[in-house]
Amino acid sequence: MKILSERLPIKYLLSEHGLCLGIDTWSCSYLFLLHRGGIVLRRRPVGDRVVEDLDYHIPDIVFALRD
């Protein structure tokens, strides 16, 4: 089960794999992931679509951000 919101400047995704929180600003986006393997915090370019491109699957997002 996934619960998500993409309509606000603060976006969230809650699933059985963990929590993903995104904060959009004018200059960049911040992505915070909390999952079984730990915590990931990344600064991303504005308009980055890594979460959408990986179909909102937190383990795949974590793997992509660690590369």
Please say whether the beta carbons of 13 and 61 come within 8 A: no
pLDDT at 40: 93
In order along the chain (67 residues), what is the average pLDDT of each group of 10 residues? 80 93 92 93 91 93 88
User: Is the pTM value of this prediction over 0.85?
Assistant: no
Instruction: Encode pLDDT of 25-37 as tens digits.
Output: 899 999 999 999 8
Q: How many whole angstroms separate alpha carbon 25 and alpha carbon 48?
A: 12
Which pLDDT score, from 0 to 100, does residue 67 have?
A: 72
